[in-house]
A and B are shown apart, each in its own frame.
Chain A
Amino acid sequence: MALARIQVPKEAKRGELVEVRIVIQHPMETGFRRDADGKRVARNAIHSLACRYNGAEVFRATLSTGIAANPFLRFFLRAGESGDLDFWWLDDDENEGTARARLVVA
C-alpha cells in the first residue's frame, strides 16, 4: 500500500514561491541487509519520483539506496493557477505510487 503525506500551504498568492513537502512510507531496502534467518533482503528502493502541477512536470528526482527509509523531499514551485499536485514514484519492485494534493491560489 502506497502511503504518503503531502504538505502545501492552505492558500498561496499568484506568483508566490510555495514550499511543497512530501514523506513517503517506503523501506528503501539497500540490498545489503540480511533478515533474521541470514537471508539477504532484496534491494527495493524508490528510484524515480516526479511531481506534476496542473499536468506539467515541475519536479523530478532520482533516488537510490543512500536515501533513508520513508524518504522526505522538499522543493519550491511558483504558484500559477489553482490546481492539483500529482506525485508519482516507482521502486525497484516496479510498484508505482501516487499521491495528490490541492494547491489553492487566491
Chain B
Amino acid sequence: MRLFAVLLFAAANAFGQPRSGLDYASEEIRRLQASDAENPGMLWVDRGAALFAQHCASCHRPAAMKGVATRYPRVVDGKVVNLEAKVQHNGPRFAYESQELLSLTAYVAHQSRGLPFAQEVFPKQVENGKREYYRRRGQMNLSCAHCHEANPGKKLGSENLSQGQPNGYPTYRLEWQTLGSLHRRLRACMYGLHAELPAHGSDLLLDLELFLAARARGLPVEAPAVRR
C-alpha cells in the first residue's frame, strides 16, 4: 500500500525527476556550499554540536543522529512533526529562528548530509499539503506550482526559479545573511505573493513541509546549504 502511494505520488509529479536547488545555483554559490571552511552555515553546525553535548548527549549519541533528517517531517498521532520540533522533544524549548534552534537543527541535519530524503509517505496528511501547494494565494493570486512546477530553470526578474526543494534546510541565504528554516523560506515566498503570512510552525507550513518532503524523495540532504 505504501509502495503504491509512493508510485502514485511519483506519477503525480508534474516535473518528473526532483532536482536540488543547488543545480540552479551559480558556480560561486556551489563552491561556497561545498567547502566546509567557507560555508558560513558550518558556524551554526559547530554551535549546534556544543548545544547537543549540553542538552541531548545524556540520552543520544551523536552517531545515532545520522539519517534522522531523512525521516522528518513525519506524522505522529495525526500531527506533523518536523525536525525543528523533534530536536527539542525533551529538552528546553527554543523559538523558531532563534540561534539555538537553528544551530541544533543544522547540527542534526548535517549528520545526514548526502543521504537521500526517505520520509515515510502519509497519504492523508500529504494530501493536505498538496492542496495548499496548488492553492492560489495572495494579491498575486499564484500558487507554489505556478513558479516551482511550471517554470523552474527560468528567470523571475534576475532570480533563477528552482523546483523549490526542501533538502538544504536549514539554509544559509545570502539575502538573509544568516541561517534560516524552511518555514522562514516558505514565509518569504508568501510575502512575495502578498499573501497573509502563516506563523512559524503553523499547521499550514507543516502540511506544506510534509508535502515538499514527499515530493523531494531521493534528493540528498545538503544542510547547511547555501543559496542566494
Interface residues of A (CB under 8 A from B): 1, 3-5, 7, 21, 23, 25, 27-28, 68-70, 72
Interface residues, chain B, with chain A CB atoms under 8 Å away: 37-38, 40, 42-44, 46-47, 174, 177-178
Q: Are B38 and A21 in contact (CB under 8 A)?
A: yes
Q: Least Cβ distance of A22 to chain B in Å?
A: 9
Interface of B, helix, strand, loop or mixed by DSSP = mixed
* Cβ–Cβ contact A3 & B47, under 8 A: yes
Q: How far is the CB of B92 from chain A (nearest CB, A)?
A: 16
Query: What are 13 of the A-B contact pairs (CB < 8 Å)?
Result: A5-B43, A21-B37, A23-B38, A23-B43, A25-B43, A28-B177, A68-B174, A69-B177, A70-B40, A70-B43, A70-B177, A70-B178, A72-B38
Residues of chain A contacted by B47 (CB below 8 angstroms): 1, 3, 25
Give the distance to chain B from A67, nearest Cβ to Cβ, in Å.
11
Q: Within the assembled complex, what's the spacing in Å between the Cα atoms of A4 and B43?
A: 7
Please measure, in the bound complex, the distance between the C-alpha atom of A13 and the C-alpha atom of B37, giving whole angstroms: 21
The answer to whether B46 and A23 have CB atoms under 8 Å apart is: no
Cβ-Cβ contact count across A and B, 8 Å cutoff: 34
**Contact: A7 with B37, CB < 8 Å?**
yes
> Which residues does chain A contribute within 8 Å of B177, judged by CB atoms?
27-28, 68-70
B77 CB → nearest A CB, Å: 34
Complex interface: chain B residues within 8 A of A68 (CB): 174, 177
Our pick among A5, A27, A28, A69 for the contact of B42 (Cβ within 8 Å) is A5
Q: Please name all residues of chain A whose beta carbon is closer than 8 Å to the beta carbon of B42 when the two chains form the complex.
A: 5, 23
B47, closest chain A residue (CB): A3
CB closest chain-B residue, reference A7: B37
Docked CA distance A61–B44 (Å): 24
> A84 CA to B67 CA in the complex, in Å?
37
Query: In the complex, are the beta carbons of A3 and B46 less than 8 A apart?
Result: yes
Contacts of A4 in B (CB 8 A): 43
Contacts of B178 in A (CB 8 A): 27, 69-70
Measured between beta carbons, the chain B residues less than 8 angstroms from A23 are 37-38, 40, 42-43
Tell me the minimal C-beta distance from B132 to chain A in angstroms: 25
| Bound: A100/B44 CA distance, A | 18
Once the chains are docked, how many angstroms separate the CA of A25 from the CA of B178?
9
User: How close is B43's CB to chain A, nearest CB, in angstroms?
Assistant: 4
Q: Which residue of B lies closest to A22 (CB)?
A: B37
Closest 9 CB pairs of A and B: A7-B37, A69-B177, A70-B40, A25-B43, A21-B37, A3-B43, A23-B40, A3-B47, A72-B38
Residues on the B chain within 8 Å of A3, using CB: 43, 46-47
User: CA of A69 to CA of B178 in the docked complex: distance in angstroms?
Assistant: 8
- Complexed CA–CA distance, A21 and B35 (Å): 11
Contact partner, A72, options B40, B44, B46, Cβ 8 Å: B40
A30 vs B178: C-alpha distance in the bound complex, in angstroms?
Answer: 15
B9 to nearest A CB, angstroms?
Answer: 38
